Amino acid sequence: MADSEKFIDSHCHLPKNRFLREWDQNIQKWRKMGIKAIIGVSMTKNESLRIIELARNEDIIIPAIGIHPWKVKKDIDANSLYDEYAKIIKNHPNVAAIGEVGLDYRFVEKIERYPFQRKVFETFSMLARDFQLILNIHCVNATKDLLEILRKNNIPAKQCIFHWYSGTEEELQEVLRFGPYFSITPAVEYSKTHQNTARQAPLNKILTESDGDVKYKNGTRGSPESIPQVIKNLATIRETDIEEMKAQIWSNFCKLFSKKEDGLST
């Protein structure tokens, strides 16, 4: 089955204990089912270093480094942060993405922390630009400010993935005009706003993700094993064939990373 299947998970928190406790078994299982690439995202510096190490021995893992907006609780020196992560990137050539980074004005309720978030996201966006890395973006109730930062720093839309985007119709239209990739999660099964994103995103800009190991409202846990069901849900929403949707997502992912379609783990 793995020889014919090509699934990608563009956003998974691999350093979580749920995955690490049975790491070898999980990797074997994911390979067997046809998972060809997983972008392992980070929430802290320690997780960033951990995902880099995990990727050393597993060619299906693409490491993404960064600081999640939930973890930004105080002001930082932007130059020091830039230099710190630039050093990590230079010392670890396997780093191919920045993430999970962004802005969150909903789950972070303390307004005084928002300027700190913006400074951190701006710094990571510049790192993505300067080192030509994919930017894996968390954006919740902060679309205007986030797009303003991306445009201000001349971040190409083709380098950006909006993860689990569930903004309003007006916000979605603004993001669509910017033109990034959109990664669709298992929440597309029940979330009306996420379904709206899946319905309107250009077919050549859609990716799949698990956001593992988040627990969804339908009781399931995110994992690379969730990806086939996400594709089925996408095919239903877009009224297209499952195999065509699968092939489209694989092609989109290869284009994003500028790889030949047979050049990833096969």
pLDDT, tens digit only, all 266 positions of the chain: 444 689 999 999 999 999 999 999 999 999 999 999 999 999 999 999 999 999 999 999 999 999 999 999 999 999 999 999 999 999 999 999 999 999 999 999 999 999 999 999 999 999 999 999 999 999 999 999 999 999 999 999 999 999 999 999 999 999 999 999 999 999 999 999 999 999 999 999 999 999 999 999 999 999 999 999 999 999 999 999 999 999 999 999 999 998 544 444 43
Indicate whether 264 belongs to any domain.
no
- Residue 171 has a pLDDT of 97
Q: How far apart are CA 184 and CA 2, in angstroms?
A: 22
Residue 16, token pair as written in the block: 């979580």
Residue 259 has a pLDDT of 59
Strand residues in the chain grouped as ranges (E): 7-12, 35-40, 61-65, 97-104, 134-140, 160-163, 181-184, 206-208
Helix, strand, coil % in the chain, rounded to nearest 5: 50, 15, 35
- Of residues 126, 19, 154, 155, the one with CA closest to residue 66: 126
Residue 211 is part of which domain span? Answer: 7-256
> Is position 1 within any domain?
no
Q: Hey, what's the torsion of the CAs at 11, 213, 190, 5, to 10 degrees?
A: 60
- Total domains, the chain: 1
The confidence score (pLDDT) of residue 265 equals 43
Kindly report the CATH number assigned to the domain that includes residue 236. Answer: 3.20.20.140
The whole-number pLDDT of residue 132 equals 96
Residue 263 located in a structural domain: no
